[in-house]
Structure 1
Amino acid sequence: MDAAGPKLQANGHVKPKPKGVLLMPLLPVLCCLLYAPCVTYSEWYIDELFAVLRNEDARGETSLSQVFSNDFWGNPLWGQSWTHKSYRPLAVLSFAWQFRFLGEDLFRPQPLRTFNAALHAANSLLVLLLLRRLGLQKWASLSAALFAAHPVHVENIVYLVGRADVLATTGWLLAALVQLEVRSTWQAKGQFPKLAGLLLVILCSILAVGACLCKEMGLTLLVFTAGLELVSCKPGSRCLATGAVPVALLALSSFVLLAAARFAVTKGSSAAFGYVDTPVQYHDDVWVRTWSYLFQHSYYAKLLIFPGYLSWDYSFDAIPVLRAAWRDVRSLSVCCAYLAVVALVSWGLANSRRLVLGLQVVIIPFVPASNLFFKVGVTIGERLLYPCTVGGVIAIAALGQNLEKRRRSWPTRLGGVLLAIYVWRCGERVWQWRSSEALYMADALSWPNSVKTRHQLGTVFHQQGRYDEALREFNASLMILDDNALTDHCIGQIYIETGRYKLALERFEKIMRGHGVGFSAFNLWMLYVDYGFTLVALGRFEEAIEPLEKGLSRNAAVPHGQNALGYAYASLNQLQQAQDVFARGLEYDPDNPVLWSNLAVVWMVAGAFQQAAQGLEKALTIEPQNPVIIQNVMVLKGVSQTGYLSEHPKLDLFFSKN
Structure 2
Amino acid sequence: MTAKVKVKPVHPWFLSGWAKWSIFLFGVALYLQTLTYDYTLDDAIVIYENQYTTSGFKGIGGILGHDTFYGFFKEAGKSQLVSGGRYRPLSLILFAIEWQLFGRSPGSGHALNLLLYGLLCLMVYLAMERLLAPTVQPRIRYPAAWITAILFAAHPVHTEAVANIKGMDEILALLGCLFALYLAFKQIPGHRNVLFAGLVFLLGMLAKENAITWVVVVPLAYLLLGNQRLMNSIRFSWPWLAAAALYLIIRQSVLESGDGQPVMELMNNPFLKWNGSGYVPMSLSESLGTTGVTWLQYLRLMVFPHPLTHDYYPRQIAIHTMTSPAALAGWLLYLAMAAGTIYFWKRQKVVSFGLAYYLVTFSIVSNLVIPIGTNMSERFLFMPGLGLLLIAGYYWAVWIAESSSRMPWVFFGLLVLAFSMKTVVRNTAWKDNFTLFKTDIAVSSNSAKLNNALGGELSVQAAKLTDETRRNEMLNQAIPLLQKALEIHPTYRNALLLLGNTYFYLARYE
TM-score, normalised by the number of residues in structure 1: 0.66
Deviation at 1:2, TM superposition (A): 0.9
Which of 230, 251, 255 is the aligned partner of 1:266? 255
SS in 2 for 1:372: coil
**Shift in CA distance, 285/214, structure 1 to aligned 2, threshold 3 Å:** same
Q: Distance in 1 between matches of 2:17 and 2:282?
A: 58
1:295 corresponds in structure 2 to 293
What are the residue-to-residue correspondences of 1:105-116 with 2, within 5 Å? 106-116=103-113
Determine if the alignment matches structure 1 residue 172 to structure 2 residue 177.
yes
2:506 corresponds in structure 1 to 498
Q: Does structure 2 retain, via aligned residues, the 8 Å contact 1:219–1:259?
A: no
1:356 corresponds in structure 2 to 352
1:97 corresponds in structure 2 to 97
Which of 120, 124, 139 is the aligned partner of 1:123? 120
Q: Does structure 1 retain, via aligned residues, the 8 Å contact 2:43–2:165?
A: yes
Higher mean C-alpha deviation, range 337-346 or range 374-383 = 337-346
1:244 corresponds in structure 2 to 233
2:453 corresponds in structure 1 to 456
Q: Does structure 2 retain, via aligned residues, the 8 Å contact 1:219–1:255?
A: yes
Determine if the alignment matches structure 1 residue 365 to structure 2 residue 323.
no
**Shift in CA distance, 250/177, structure 1 to aligned 2, threshold 3 Å:** closer
Q: Distance in 2 between matches of 1:308 and 1:340?
A: 24
1:217 corresponds in structure 2 to 210
Determine if the alignment matches structure 1 residue 232 to structure 2 residue 237.
no
**Kindly, what percent of the aligned residue pairs are identical?**
21
Q: Distance in 2 between matches of 1:217 and 1:470?
A: 37
Which of 479, 485, 491 is the aligned partner of 1:477? 485
Deviation at 1:252, TM superposition (A): 4.6
**Superposed CA offset, 1:226-245 (max 9, x none):** 121111344xx7666xx434
1:275 corresponds in structure 2 to 266
SS in 1 for 2:99: helix
1:36 corresponds in structure 2 to 32
SS in 2 for 1:115: helix
Q: Distance in 2 between matches of 1:380 and 1:40?
A: 28
Determine if the alignment matches structure 1 residue 57 to structure 2 residue 45.
no
Determine if the alignment matches structure 1 residue 156 to structure 2 residue 161.
yes
Amino acid at match of 2:222: E
**Superposed CA offset, 1:324-378 (max 9, x none):** 321x221243145214414642564244322222233322222221222222132
Q: Does structure 2 retain, via aligned residues, the 8 Å contact 1:278–1:316?
A: no
Q: Distance in 1 between matches of 2:356 and 2:411?
A: 23
Amino acid at match of 1:72: T
Determine if the alignment matches structure 1 residue 203 to structure 2 residue 196.
yes
Which has the bigger relative contact order, CA under 8 A and spacing at least 6?
2
Deviation at 1:406, TM superposition (A): 5.5
Q: Distance in 1 between matches of 2:349 and 2:150?
A: 22
Amino acid at match of 1:472: P
Q: Distance in 2 between matches of 1:220 and 1:78?
A: 31
**Shift in CA distance, 80/341, structure 1 to aligned 2, threshold 3 Å:** closer
Amino acid at match of 1:453: L
- In the alignment, structure 2 segments of 5+ residues that lack a partner are 134-140, 273-279, 463-473
Deviation at 1:310, TM superposition (A): 1.4
Q: Does structure 2 retain, via aligned residues, the 8 Å contact 1:208–1:222?
A: no
Q: Distance in 1 between matches of 2:142 and 2:264?
A: 44
Amino acid at match of 1:363: L
1:377 corresponds in structure 2 to 373
CA RMSD of aligned residues (A): 3.0
Amino acid at match of 2:144: W
**Shift in CA distance, 313/464, structure 1 to aligned 2, threshold 3 Å:** same
Q: Say which one has the larger Rg.
A: 1
Q: Distance in 1 between matches of 2:379 and 2:111?
A: 17
Q: Does structure 2 retain, via aligned residues, the 8 Å contact 1:226–1:252?
A: no
Q: Distance in 2 between matches of 1:330 and 1:216?
A: 30
- In the alignment, structure 1 segments of 5+ residues that lack a partner are 8-14, 184-191, 503-658
Q: Does structure 2 retain, via aligned residues, the 8 Å contact 1:471–1:491?
A: yes
Amino acid at match of 2:415: L
Q: Does structure 1 retain, via aligned residues, the 8 Å contact 2:183–2:194?
A: no
Runs of 4+ in structure 1 off by over 6 angstroms are none
Q: Matched residue pairs, number? A: 473
Q: Does structure 2 retain, via aligned residues, the 8 Å contact 1:77–1:266?
A: no
Q: Distance in 1 between matches of 2:495 and 2:175?
A: 39
Higher mean C-alpha deviation, range 243-252 or range 67-76 = 243-252
